[in-house]
Each structure stands twice: as C-alpha cells, then as structure tokens.
Chain A
Amino acid sequence: MNRIFQWIDERTGLSGPVRDFLNYPVPKYVHRNFLYTLGGMTLISFLIQVVTGILLAFYYDPSTEGAYNSVDYISYQLPLGWLVRGLHHYGSSAMVILVSLHMLRTYYFSAYKKPRELNWLTGVLLFFLVLSFGFTGYLLPWDQKGYWATKVGTEIAGSVPLIGGFLLRIMRGGANLGQATLTRFYAGHILLLPASVAVLIVAHIFQLRFHGMAPAITEKAKAQSKTFVPFFPHWAITDTAVGLGLLALLVFMTWANHAPLEFPADPTSNSYVPRPEWYFLFYFQLLKYFPGVLEPIATIVIPLFLFGSMVLLPFIDTGEERRPWHKPITTLVSIFYIIVIVVFTILAMAAYA
C-alpha cells in the first residue's frame, strides 16, 4: 500500500498538502461541541444534493412538454426513482435548515469578527445561493405548485420600482412563464449555481483553515483551546457519522412520505392557490401586510435591510466582546428576526392549511 502512495507522490507531489490537510489541528472545545458539526453537515447536504441531482439529470427533460412527464417517470416508473427524487426534495429543505443553523451558530459565537469578516461575507453569499437553488429547483417539475410559485415569485421581482420590469423579463426569459423560463432556471440550477457554490465553498474552507477556529467563548472552552486533535480521523469521524445520520433521516422521511408531485401546470387555472416553498412562506405572508402603496416596503426595504445588515454585520459589530450574553443588541435583534420568521411561517401555514 505504502509503495502505491509513494509511486503517486513521486509523480504528483500530493502527499505534503494531503498530509497537512488531514493533520489539521482541531481544538478540543470544537471537538466536544455538536454545534461545530453544522458547517460540515451543510457541506454534506450539498454533496447529497449534487449526487442526487446528477442522478436525476440523467432522466429529467427540461422542456415544458416533457418536464412533468419525466419527473412522473422518475417518481413512478424508474427503479428507486422515488428514493433519489425524495432525497433531493427533502435534502433541499435540510440544506436550508442546516445553512441557517450554521449561520446562527457563527453569529452567536461572533465568529465574524476580525480577521474573519470576509469569511462571513462568503458565508452570506453562500446562504443566498442556497435560497436561489431552492427557488430555481422548485420550478423544474413544471407542476401546479412550481409553476404558480414561480409566477408569483417573478411578479414580486417585477414589482420593484424602476428595474422591476427588466428583472421580471430577465428571470422569465420573456413576458410570461414558458420554455425560456424553464431552461434558464435549469441551467442556473445545475450549472451556474453549483459552480458558484463550489468555488465559494472552497474559498470558505480555505479561509477557515487559514484563520483557524474563532476563539473560544466560555471559560470551559478556553481551557480546552490549547489541546488539539487531528482533523483525520477524529473530526472526520464525527463529520462522517453525522453525515450518515443525515442521510438516514432523509431516507426515512422519503420512505414515510414520497416527495410530492402535484398535477401538471395549468396556466389557465383560476382556482389554484399559489404558495412558495416553506422557507419562503414567511415572506409570502409578510407581503399581505403591506398592500398597495406600502408594497415597496416589503419588496425592497425589508429585503435590502435584511441583506444589508447581514453583509455589514462584521463592520458594525467591531467590538472585542464575543459572548452573546454580553451583547444584548445583536442577541435581541437575532431573536427578533427568528420570532418574526417563525410567527409569519405559522400564520402562512394556517392560512393555507
């Protein structure tokens, strides 16, 4: 075995970098804390999406004529098709949840402070790309749910003053939802977004490795910040175990409840009630409270504010203090946002039960 590695190393020079990567020292306080697995789990959920997505792409037909029937074929006629599609469906929700939890963990541990500001920004960008994945993927089955959710979603983009009309047409590939919409959403979903996310993930992990883990917050953790375990195998096992756990959970969820496929898109339907995927429900509900002239508050001000505050966070909160219980403002603001999102999601679900 060693001789094979030597042979490869003589020709690639890889053993040095690989060994450095594997021997990376992980502080003990990280090793003992489940919260630190969230980043890795987000990456694993992305990998699950990539693998299931590639498998699905062998059968998916991105034409308005064939899209629905090809997803129907995958779900009901292809061996294990229901499983692959189900993993992709539940995996996308898992990814949104995990990236949000990971972001919250990073936020509460103040891991965005100097010198990690750019890494936080990379993460914010990744967060929005994950949401874009969800938005573009939702349309692809071309069923009632995906069609109408995209119709409404692009209308919201279209309601932005000045550039709205332009935005809507670019997103739709025309004035209406049709073939051009489907193909560009598909190209974005399987080519542009994965490439962008992959590059950003590499940058994200590189910066993490470069800076190391953010300083410990609690006294107990600080006491463990001078003892290390190597990434391989100690942390890698943790990552692999939670990854397998995630996979098992997704398989169970799929087995218990196959990924839904509603009836084919009917653009002439006047009785269908559009709703977005669950992680956009809170925003969908929110729009109801800003009708008419107040609408720009919901379509521009609030999203800009949210995005802006996320981006500017490391430059606003520049103090040395990292402990959340000593940082009332950032802590309360985040709790406020969480409550708003949860409450509005519940309101939306009740409205469309």
Chain B
Amino acid sequence: MAAPKLPPLPAGKGVWDDHAISRRGFLEAILGVLAAIGALLVAVPGVRFLIGNSLESSATKWVELGKVADLPTAAVTQVNYSTRATDAWREVTQRGTVYVSSADGGATFTALDGTCTHLGCIVQWNEGEGNFICPCHSGRFTRAGEVISGPPPHRMRQLAVKVQNGTLLAEI
C-alpha cells in the first residue's frame, strides 16, 4: 500500500526529512501493529469486565411461604414471599408472588410461580372462572398451571416444595 506523497512544506519553512520519509511505509505498518495491540489490550478485558457476572446462573434457594396450618386447603392462595437476598453488592429483601393450592385437602401442596410465561407480568387467580388470567394480554392458565388460551408459550413454572417443621417452603 503506497502512501500518498506528502505535500511540500510552505516556502521558507523547511524540508521533509528524506531518511525518515523513506521508512514511512514500514513505520505505518509498525504503527498498525502497535495500535492493534493497544486496542486489543483495552477491548478484551474491557468487554470481559462489562459482561462481569451477568451471565452467572443464580443459585436456587428455599423460601418460606407460611405455616401449613394457615394455608387454605381448597382455595388457590396468593402468597407474597420475602426473603433476604444478595443483589450484586447489596443485601436486599427479595419479593415474589407464588400461588399455592392443594388438590388433596392439605396433604400435599403445589406452588406455581406467579410470573406469566409470555412477557413476565404477574397473573391473577380468577375464582369465578376457576383459572389464572394474565392482565397484560389475557393469557389463561388452569389451576394446575397449564395454558388454556392466549399468547403464553408454555405452562406456569411449578416450584419444588417441602414442609419443614410445619412450614411450607418452595424452591425459587
């Protein structure tokens, strides 16, 4: 790649250094290499830094939903849980909505994540219809969380549950 000729300097100012000019192409190549190294040295760690921990999968944890004795056995109950969590560099109270129901009169429980699988709104239990309805785009789910109609692509997420010392816990 021949470099375009340098314009002559104004009269009286001086001359271009011939020896330096003769090496111009070579020096441009070196500059390119150095600049590329510099750019990589900045870009690669920079991008890694910006990604940070965003791609880490968060560990699951068990949250308390309430005393088994207090939970209605026939109806679908909305439980708003709160738990201590670490949010980046902060300790916060993490909240969420879970729907709890029992098909066998309180022997076992089902916990469904209240987040609609379409775009993330919180669904509402409609007692009259006997199913969940999402207020955003009217997606509908059965009591067990299966999709009836509307845009949701799959069923409501079912959480693992366990009972410990009379308290129902769900794994979020």
Contact = CB atoms under 8 A, between A and B. Distances in A.
Contacts of A66: 89-90
Interface in B20-37: 20-21, 24, 27-28, 30-31, 34-35, 37
B34 A23 contact: no
A227 B89 contact: no
A334 interface: no
A240 to B, nearest CB: 5
A240 B35 contact: yes
A25 B9 contact: yes
Contact of A51 (B27, B42, B48): B42
A25 B42 CA distance: 30
Interface in A2-45: 19, 23, 25, 27-28, 31
A116 to B, nearest CB: 18
Contacts of B88: 59, 70, 73
B17 A28 contact: yes
A31 B1 CA distance: 25
Nearest to A248: B41
For chain A, which range describes its interface: under 10, 10 to 19, 20 to 34, or 35 or more residues? Answer: 35 or more
A225 interface: yes
Contacts of B7: 23
Given A69-B89, A70-B89, A244 B34 contact: yes
Contacts of B41: 244, 247
B6 interface: yes
Nearest to B20: A229
A229 B48 contact: no
A158 interface: no
Contacts of A335: none
B11 interface: no
Interface string B1-19: 1001011010001111100
Contact of B27 (A27, A59, A73, A237): A237
B108 to A, nearest CB: 40
B42 to A, nearest CB: 6
A226 B38 CA distance: 33
Interface string A303-337: 00000000000000000000000000000000000
B53 A78 contact: yes
Contact of A80 (B16, B35, B48): B48
A240 B89 CA distance: 37
Interface residues of B, number: 34
A194 interface: no
Contacts of B14: 25, 27, 225-228
A72 B89 contact: yes
B38 A228 contact: no
A104 interface: no
A228 B15 contact: yes
B128 interface: no
B50 interface: yes
A65 B9 CA distance: 61
Contacts of B17: 28, 227-229
Q: Which of A25, A55, A233, A241 has the most CB of B within 10 A?
A: A233
B52 A59 contact: yes
A226 B37 CA distance: 34
Contacts of B37: 244
A61 interface: yes
Determine which residue in B7, B28, B52 has the highest number of CB atoms from chain A within 10 A of its CB, and name it: B52
Contacts of A236: 31
B31 A78 contact: no
Contacts of B35: 240
Nearest to A85: B49
A266 to B, nearest CB: 19
A81 B16 contact: no
A19 B14 CA distance: 19
B50 A230 contact: no
B90 A237 contact: no
25 contacts: A1-B1, A23-B6, A25-B14, A51-B42, A51-B46, A55-B49, A58-B52, A59-B52, A70-B88, A72-B89, A79-B49, A79-B51, A80-B49, A83-B49, A84-B46, A227-B14, A228-B16, A229-B17, A229-B20, A230-B16, A233-B31, A234-B24, A243-B38, A244-B34, A247-B41
Closest A-B pairs by Cβ, 10 of them:
A226-B14, A73-B89, A69-B89, A233-B31, A233-B27, A229-B20, A233-B28, A240-B34, A70-B89, A227-B17
Interface of B: 1, 4, 6-7, 9, 13-17, 20-21, 24, 27-28, 30-31, 34-35, 37-38, 41-42, 45-46, 48-53, 88-90
